[in-house]
Every structure is written in C-alpha cells, then in structure tokens.
Structure 1
Amino acid sequence: MNASSPPLSLHQRILGEIEGRIRSGEWPPGYKLPAEEELALAYGCSRMTMNKALGELARAGLIERRRKAGSFVSQPPAQSAVLAIPDIGAEVAALGVPYRFEVLSRATRLATKSDLKRLIHEGPTSVLVLHVRHFAGSRPFCLERRIIDLATVPDATSEPFLDLPPGTWLKARVPWTAAEHRIRAVGADAATAEALSLSHGTACLVIERRTWSDGCPVTSVELAYPGDANELVAVFTPFQS
C-alpha cells in the first residue's frame, strides 16, 4: 500500500476480507457464512454495521441472503446462467400482435409444504396463488403458475390484477435483488394442454423462477410456453471481475 493512501475504514476492511475469502475459494459457492452476530463479534463492530456490509455483498452478487436461513456464497457468474427477467407483455408486443391476459384462479392461503419448498422459505407464511393465461393475439402464449409471499408483498392481497399482470406489477412494486432460473422441457399435462390449446404431452418450454428482495422471498413462478413456438436466446459477454 502506498504510504500516502488513507487507511481502510472498518467497513472497507470487512468487505475486502470477505470478498477475498470468496474469490480465493476459501469460502466456496454454497458455503454458509458465520451468523451475522458472530461476524460482528469477530470484527468488533455493531450488528448494524455488519448487516450493511452483508447487504452490499449481496447486491454485488457475491452472497445470497435467505431470511431465517443465513447468508451463503453465490455461484460466480462464470458458473451460472444470468438471464434478464422479461415482461411477457413486452415479449408479445415485440411479435407485433395484441397482448392480453386473464386470471384463471386466485387463492390466499397458509403456505403448504410445497409452497415453502418453492419459495425456499422455512415458514410459516401466507401466500397468494395465481394461475394466469397470457395471449398473443387470439392464441394462448403462456401459462403462469405463481406464488407470492405475502409477508414480503402484503399489498398483493388486495390487488385484483385487472390492469397489469402479476409479473409486471411485482417488478414495479418490489425491487428484486436476486433471482434464480431453472429451464426445462416437459410434456404438457392435462391442465397445461387445455389452457394452451395443445394436445396432451406436447413439448413445452418451462421456466421456473424465484426472486428475492434483500434476502426475503418475493415470488416463485412457473411459466409454460408451447415448445414449437418459442426459443431461448441469450446474449452475453465474458465476465470481468
């Protein structure tokens, strides 16, 4: 260090040391960090200072914070696909055809074990469950099955979703800080086939997505698209640290 350089603040030292452990591989992807109070004690700082530092590391994508579960080292960008969260209405508009959607069903309930697993939530919590069909012109474009954690997004309880579909509404209301995509090809089950006007077993592109806001689960959604009318395209550049 240059002799004229100012000394690092405690906040900078915490960020630098934790980042160094992650990038060196001492704390590998998936590693659970010590509890916030343990780190605060080790660095001789307040929990508020440590919480701020961990929040900054989460925003930088180095760690993932999960409410009640702790903080975990994220997969580095070189090892995971990074995809934007698209707006279905904008996707349809880009095709040059009219867009509309309809809410097929909605229910508010105490989260089931399956709901908690999808949200990666230890519970208990209440959720809003939505089934939504999106159209491109007169053709069904996508079937959406969504769970919203009402502890994180309480306003969703009274939202009728008449003007905006759930995904667009959430993006405008709740800034997400972390997301996970899982993409697979499946044969349409009976309900999906009926909703998308397909034959039973027709290949569909299914995108499962979870989002978090500062470590709190926001939503888990499954989007099913007719496989013969959709493709997944990613444009990317080499990762630069």
Structure 2
Amino acid sequence: MNNSLFLLFAGLICIVFSCGCMNEEISLGKGLSPEKVSFESEVFHYDDYIEFVYRPDSLIPSTYFVTYSADVSGSTFYAESDRKYDGIFRDKPFKVRIPLDNRTYETIGFNIAVVDHWGRTVEQSELSVEEMEASWADLSLSVSDLLTGSDYGSLVQVSGRVSGLNTDESDFFNLTSGGSTVRAFYRDIVRETGTAMPDADISALSDGDYVILSGELQKGGNFSSRNDFWIYEVIDL
C-alpha cells in the first residue's frame, strides 16, 4: 500500500513538473515571436502610371503578401490578390505600380492590405492619391528644419533647390532651402552593416529644379559624413 502511494505521488510530481516545463516552453515560444512591423508609405506619379511604395520599419528581410485595388468613383479598374514580396526590409521596400491608362491620378482611390509571414495583417488602408499627397506636403521639411531637428536615421521628406549636379564626377548634389544646404547622395550608398542601397533615379533632375527628396539624414560613420542626406526617392516638382 505504501509503495502504491509512493508511486502515485511520484507520478503526480512528474506530471506537474512536465506541465510546468511545457508551459515554460510555450511562454518562451511566445516571447520569441517577432513583433508586428509598421510601414511608412509614399506615392509617386509619372506620365503613364503611379507607384505606391511601402517601407517596413525593420532591418530584417521578410516575406509579405499584399492585396490591393485601385478605383475611380468606386469602380475598380486594377487589382491583385496575395501578391508575394520576398526579402522586404527598410532598405528594400515593396512597390505597387498602377497603370493610369489616360486616367487623372488625383481621382484614383487605393486600398491595400498587407499580411506578414505569420499570417498577421500589418498594414491596411484606404486612401485617395490626392489625400496621400496632401498629407505628405504638410510633412515636407526645409533643409534648415531638417538640420535643426537632426532626426538621424528616420525616414523624412525634405524640399529644396538642386545645385552642383554632375553625374559624371559626383554621387551627390547640393540641396538648399531655408538658408541651409546638405549633400544629397543618390548612388554608391552603403549602410554601417555593409548593406548596399539601391541608387535613386535622378535622371529627370537638373540644376535649379525644386524637389522633394525622401530619405534619411546621417549622423556619420564608416560610409557617411555627419549631415549627409541619403536619397530613397526623388519627386521633381
């Protein structure tokens, strides 16, 4: 009888211990689950298409599944479901290109839902191109404001006048507004991690143009000097 009770208690102890270990493993598993990323979005319009750019706030490449549609007055004219984008991170955003087909870009509405590799919706929005551009115009900084704020490493939009543009001999041009100037780099950009960034397209720019640049102000390091500005996208005004 005593032996039976001993074996019973021993069995109960093993069960309790196993459950505790299992719960600990589950908790650890949950603790290791990646946090949801957030996205910064931009829109760029060209002669025959508009392009939506979504940049995650993560330096870790990941896979995203994107469903989107474009409409005019509620009538959808372009859509795609669960398009897969691999290797997306802060320096490699995903881009959605919508053909205009003689439509006026200001009239287009855009709906998007982004699902991450773990099946979680990380971005969902419904906006018109006109609303998106109006909101970004308010966020554009002068060069003087940019340098005063010194918001290093954050994605910002800065506006100014282009000068010193020489694509044959230099990988940057000068951007001036508010009485201040920065060097705006558009090619041969390398992060401290050694990651090479894609070149920005400046083919439409000329000296004297007033533009808005989307990019990051640098605090200086092995591959940049303090207050260099790295360009992600160029909008020619």
- Say whether the fold is shared (TM-score over 0.5): no
Q: Which has the higher contact order (CA 8 A, sep 6+)?
A: 1
